Amino acid sequence: MLADARDPFRVLSLPYDAGPEDVRRAFRRLARQTHPDRGGSAEAFHPVRVAYGALAADLDGERRRWQAAPVASSRAPRSAGGLDPRTFPTCTVRFTRSRDGVRRSTYATERRPEGWRPGAAPPPGGTCVAQVEASGSAPAFGVWRVPLDERRFRCVFGPLPAGG
């Protein structure tokens, strides 16, 4: 049951290509069976409610998140905005808020892959948000913000911007 609790499609007994109406119907069917006011228990209803909440909030986003990973192919791996992670590895970002309400972001620049060197071309559609000086055996590089959609983004390691 633990694996089912992490996968809302399994909790609601739905295929991964289920649409919003299918999700609603499955939730209502299971709610009638498990809701405490209908003779069920709170323990049985809770995973159903959580699964429906996860899928109803962003059905397409959750479908991508919960769907099984595709079978490996001979094509290069893709990540952030369709970029090859060997060329543009992901940079971890930490957001903090100071006491006066100012939001700050910190980039984990020390966590770039061992032996990685920036290429000449920046990531398409990206904006350089930080620059790191060369030190010892590590070359200078930039941290680029790449938009995934209108609300989400990913930060990746890349070359310094032109003229930078």
How far lies 2's CA from each of 6, 10, 43, in Å? Answer: 7, 11, 13
The answer to whether 122 and 164 are in contact (CB under 8 A) is no
Question: What pTM, to 2 d.p., does this model score?
Answer: 0.50
Q: In the chain, what are the domain boundaries?
A: 2-66, 80-158
The domain made up of 2-66 has a fold known as Helix Hairpins (1.10.287)
Tens of pLDDT, residue by residue over 43-97, are 999 999 988 888 876 565 545 555 555 555 555 555 656 778 888 888 888 888 8
**How much is the pLDDT for 80?**
57
The answer to whether 109 and 129 are in contact (CB under 8 A) is no
Average pLDDT taken over every residue of the chain: 80
**How much is the pLDDT for 1?**
41
